[in-house]
Amino acid sequence: MRVAIVPGDGIGVDVTREAVKTLEGAAGLSGIELVTTSFPWSADHYIKTGESLPKGAFDDLRANFDAIFMGAFGDPRVPDMAHARDILLGARFILDLYVNYRPIRCLDERLNPLKSHRAADIDFVIFRENTEGSYAGTGGNFKKGTADEVALQEDISTRKGVERIVRHAFGFAKARGKTRVCMADKSNAMRFVGDLWQRTFWAVADEYPGIEASHLYVDALVMQMVKDPSQFQVVVTNNMFGDIATDLGAVLQGGLGMAASGNVHPGRISMFEPVHGSAPKYAGTGKANPFGAILTIGLLFEHLGHEKPARAIEAAIVQCLEAGQCTHDVGGDLSTEAAGDAVVRRLRAALG
């Protein structure tokens, strides 16, 4: 397993240290040969060198690595986030990582914010289209800075782009023995892209007769995620709606510190990152929760076909939470490093 590591900025650096410790521990205990290579791309690097990442970096990653782990990006010294845009969006667009994979599982009753449901009821996956929609970067300004200013941001959906993410959602459901896939859009108000999503979704759904397909407008989706999350198994939606709905998903999991994600192109090099940002105020303080980053390592193992360490990592986190061996934000009093050590100890017991 050749894994590129990009810690990034702020708490990205702190949580990546623990994630790499877990990656090395779980790989070693599972007999998986692992080579990691760390890259300095960050705000610091950008300020020192004027470069976000070198020319050809993504070609190098594609040729020489199986997966990429990124911490987080964002630094007040680079207010326009130029480096983060080049690195994060660069990876998503240049490597064509069209699947944003966001498992939403609440791993401990204490983290469950809902009065009406148990933690076990919060267990579904959101697939967010990751390369199109309003984030494709097309649009422009006219008469900028005047009273007549016009701004356009275009929402681009292609048949190919919609079909491949919808197909991925159904394929995942089938492979995991799930029986329900729900598509969320806003086709009542956004008629043109909505119509494309609708026709594509129902056409693909016809190919999966064993799976119940359903549709919700995205405003209803977020309401239902709070009202009755147990109804969802697999949700598929566009880039912007997925961005918003998955942050609500993080709250259902116990907060940003617990949320993991994959940016995936099936069969190709893919990138894995915790959902949270660089939380500059916590950088280097030992307060950052490393569990989202460590669960992200689980997704990386899963993507590369190593189910056993993937399951062991999640089980170790469940046990740590149960024992209160976790950081402050999820009810414990451990430092970032001590929480990472607690996971590795449990992995040794499970896989050793």
Ligand X SMILES: NC(=O)c1ccc[n+]([C@@H]2O[C@H](COP(=O)([O-])OP(=O)(O)OC[C@H]3O[C@@H](n4cnc5c(N)ncnc54)[C@H](O)[C@@H]3O)[C@@H](O)[C@H]2O)c1
Q: Which is nearer to ligand X, 187 or 253 (CB)?
A: 253
Least distance from ligand X to the Cβ atom of residue 351, Å? 25
Q: Does 74 bind ligand X (CB under 6 A)?
A: yes
Two structure tokens written together for 141: 């300004």
Q: Which is nearer to ligand X, 74 or 133 (CB)?
A: 74
Place of tokens 């199986």: 66
Q: Does 256 bind ligand X (CB under 6 A)?
A: yes
How many other C-beta atoms lie within 10 A of the C-beta of residue 49?
12
**Cα 165 from chain centroid?**
15
- Please say whether the beta carbons of 42 and 7 come within 8 A: yes
Q: Does 34 bind ligand X (CB under 6 A)?
A: no
Cα–Cα distance between 20 and 26 in angstroms, integer? 10
Task: For residue 163, give the amino acid letter.
Answer: E
Closest CA to 4 of 87, 84, 78: 87
Where does this chain touch ligand X (CB under 6 A) — which range of 68-76, 188-196, 296-304, 309-317?
A: 68-76
Q: Which is nearer to ligand X, 3 or 250 (CB)?
A: 250
Q: In 163-206, where do the E strands start and end? A: 180-185
Closest CA to 39 of 14, 61, 63, 11: 61
Least distance from ligand X to the Cβ atom of residue 261, Å? 9
H-helix or E-strand spanning residue 42: none
Q: Which is nearer to ligand X, 129 or 273 (CB)?
A: 273
Say how many residues make up the chain. Answer: 352
Where does this chain touch ligand X (CB under 6 A) — which range of 115-123, 186-194, 200-208, 275-283?
A: 275-283
Q: Does 73 bind ligand X (CB under 6 A)?
A: yes
Cα–Cα distance between 343 and 348 in angstroms, integer? 9
**Greatest C-alpha distance within the chain:** 68
Among residues 7, 133, 249, 257, the one that binds ligand X under rule CB under 6 A: 257
What is the size of the binding site for ligand X (CB under 6 A)?
A: 18
Least distance from ligand X to the Cβ atom of residue 331, Å? 12
- Please say whether the beta carbons of 11 and 286 come within 8 A: no
Least distance from ligand X to the Cβ atom of residue 228, Å? 26
Q: Which is nearer to ligand X, 201 or 272 (CB)?
A: 272
Least distance from ligand X to the Cβ atom of residue 336, Å? 8
- Please say whether the beta carbons of 73 and 92 come within 8 A: no
Closest CA to 16 of 306, 331, 294: 294
Task: For residue 195, give the amino acid letter.
Answer: D
Among residues 288, 326, 343, 344, the one that binds ligand X under rule CB under 6 A: 288
Place of tokens 């999820």: 330
Where does this chain touch ligand X (CB under 6 A) — which range of 139-147, 178-186, 206-214, 272-280?
A: 272-280
Among residues 134, 253, 263, 289, the one that binds ligand X under rule CB under 6 A: 289
Q: Does 272 bind ligand X (CB under 6 A)?
A: no
Q: Does 234 bind ligand X (CB under 6 A)?
A: no
Closest CA to 26 of 259, 337, 338, 295: 295
**Per-residue x/- mask for ligand X, residues 312 to 331, rule CB under 6 A?**
-----------------x--
Least distance from ligand X to the Cβ atom of residue 291, Å? 8
Where does this chain touch ligand X (CB under 6 A) — which range of 67-75, 106-114, 146-154, 301-309?
A: 67-75
How many other C-beta atoms lie within 10 A of the C-beta of residue 56?
9
Least distance from ligand X to the Cβ atom of residue 11, Å? 6
Q: Does 69 bind ligand X (CB under 6 A)?
A: no
Q: Does 163 bind ligand X (CB under 6 A)?
A: no
- Look up residue 14 and give its DSSP letter: H
- Please say whether the beta carbons of 43 and 73 come within 8 A: yes
Among residues 90, 277, 286, 324, the one that binds ligand X under rule CB under 6 A: 277
Footprint of ligand X on this chain (CB under 6 A)? Answer: 11, 15, 72-74, 81, 88, 256-257, 273, 276-279, 288-289, 292, 329
